[in-house]
Structures are given as structure tokens and as C-alpha cells.
């Protein structure tokens, strides 16, 4: 594909979606991420798109399209409770577990049994606070950095560096959207945080309620095919259950 045609295609894709990441565009157009970055720089200079970290967006797109943590807390509560129960049932005595940010993960503490030698690591202040009353029964560690108030998570180089050094038995990661195997969220820094946590875990679990299936978000950070299981609620459709079972095991109820 010649450069003028490629630039036009990129502009159309960004306009259609509102935003697109470098990784998505590279895959879609079959060219290197370096080429996409140069093309996005040219389009931004021509004021055709807005260049942002990890990709580009339209001038009409605003970051406040991302719901805040407080807004998300009241959505699909019944489903989130079922997902949290199922996730908690995977934790065993002696585990070192990273629990990522997300309103579903904040509910895990409600269902986590008292287990000996359990260590929980998180970079989410709300997840940490949900477990504070259990601190005498487990080892609880909060990894700090730059605080992102919208979601209550610590991000940035300090967090990334610390996580790179940690090995965990399990990582439980909340996903904003899932389209095919593509796990995505709204913020590239949060996505990078979760990618590192998943990479350094022996067992990798993606959690989300069924309303987030077949949806796209700005930043793709991991493939469901590389996870040990997708944990969702029992109200997932048979169609989605069949589709996502092609990528990994799907868990919808607590395991004994």
C-alpha cells in the first residue's frame, strides 16, 4: 500500500472508531508500528488526527468518554459480584496474587476466604482499601507511583519497574472490553501495568462481566489466548460462551 493510500486508510479508521492504537493500526494495515507512528505524526501535523500516547484519536474524541470509577461502581453490580466470587475461589493458601484495578476486583475481598500464607499485591488504592480490614490475616502490599484519580490506580515508571521485578503465582486482571482475543482498556499506562502483571504471573486470569464482551476500547494490552481463563458471569450468552471458549477456558461460577 502506497503512503497516500495508507494515510487515508488510517484517517478513516480513526474517524470510524473515534480512536485507534498503534498496535491495532499496524495489525490492520500489515505494516510495522514504526511506519504507523511516522504516519500518525504526519496526520497530526496536517491536523487530520490528534496524536496521543499509544495511538491517535479524532478531534471530537474526549478522554472523559472513559467512565470514572464511581460511575462504573453502580453498573452491572449483580454480574460483578458473581465474577468476583468466581475469581476469589481460584485463590489458594500460600499464593502470591496480583489483583489489578477495577470495580469488579474491588469486590473480591468480600468473597476471599481466610487462607494461610496468602500474599496480595495491588497497584489499586480501592482494591487495597477493600482488603485493609484483612491485613492481619494476609500479607498486603500496595505498589505506589503516579496516582490516576479517575480509576484509583497508581501508574508510571516507578510502578512498572517494581512490577517487572515481581513474580506472582496468579494475576487477576479486570478488562474494560474484549473483542475476539483482544483485551483492551481506555488508558495506555494502565494497559501497560496490566500487561506486565500478566506476563510475570504463572496463572493469568481476565475478569469482566458479560456486558463488556464484543466491545472495543482504545488500548489493546494483551491477548486472551495467552490467559489461563476468562472469568465472567453466568448470564453470558451461549454464542459468546462458544466464541470465547475458542481462546481460553471460560469460568462462570465459583470453583470448589
Q: What is the pLDDT of residues 151-209, one digit of tens each?
A: 999 999 999 999 999 999 999 999 999 989 999 988 889 999 999 999 999 999 999 99
pLDDT of residue 36: 93
Residue 104: pLDDT band (50, 70, 90) is: very high
Q: Is 1 exposed, middle or buried (0-12, 13-18, 19+ CB in 10 A)?
A: exposed
The contacts of residue 238 (CB under 8 Å, 6+ apart) are none
Identify which has the larger pLDDT, 134 or 57.
Answer: 134
**What pTM does this model have?**
0.77
Determine the Cα angle at 61 with ends 72 and 9, to 5°.
125
Evaluate if residue 40 carries a pLDDT over 90: yes
131: pLDDT confidence band, cut at 50, 70 and 90?
very high
Looking at residue 82, what is its pLDDT? 96
Amino acid at each position: 500500500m502506497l503512503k497516500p493510500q495508507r494515510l487515508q486508510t488510517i484517517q478513516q479508521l480513526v474517524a470510524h472508531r473515534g480512536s485507534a492504537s498503534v498496535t491495532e493500526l499496524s495489525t490492520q494495515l500489515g505494516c510495522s508500528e514504526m511506519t504507523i507512528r511516522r504516519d500518525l505524526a504526519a496526520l497530526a501535523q496536517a491536523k487530520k488526527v490528534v496524536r496521543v500516547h499509544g495511538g491517535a484519536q479524532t478531534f471530537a474524541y474526549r478522554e472523559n468518554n472513559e467512565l470514572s470509577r464511581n460511575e462504573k461502581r453502580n453498573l452491572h453490580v449483580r454480574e460483578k459480584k458473581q465474577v468476583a466470587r468466581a475469581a476469589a475461589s481460584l485463590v489458594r493458601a500460600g499464593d502470591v496474587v496480583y489483583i489489578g484495578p477495577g470495580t469488579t476486583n474491588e469486590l473480591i475481598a468480600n468473597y476471599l476466604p481466610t487462607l494461610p500464607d496468602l500474599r496480595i499485591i495491588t497497584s489499586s488504592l480501592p482494591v487495597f482499601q477493600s482488603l485493609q480490614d484483612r491485613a492481619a490475616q494476609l500479607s498486603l502490599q500496595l505498589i505506589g507511583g503516579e496516582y490516576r484519580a479517575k480509576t484509583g490506580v497508581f501508574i508510571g515508571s516507578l510502578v512498572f519497574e517494581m512490577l517487572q521485578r515481581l513474580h506472582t503465582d496468579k494475576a487477576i486482571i479486570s478488562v474494560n472490553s474484549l473483542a475476539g482475543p483482544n483485551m483492551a482498556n481506555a488508558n495506555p499506562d494502565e494497559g501497560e501495568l496490566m500487561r506486565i502483571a500478566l506476563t510475570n504471573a504463572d496463572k493469568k486470569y481476565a475478569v469482566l462481566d458479560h456486558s463488556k464482551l464484543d466491545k472495543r476500547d482504545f488500548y489493546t494490552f494483551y491477548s486472551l489466548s495467552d490467559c489461563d481463563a476468562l472469568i465472567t458471569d453466568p448470564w453470558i450468552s451461549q454464542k459468546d460462551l462458544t466464541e470465547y471458549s475458542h481462546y481460553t477456558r471460560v469460568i462462570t461460577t465459583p470453583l470448589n
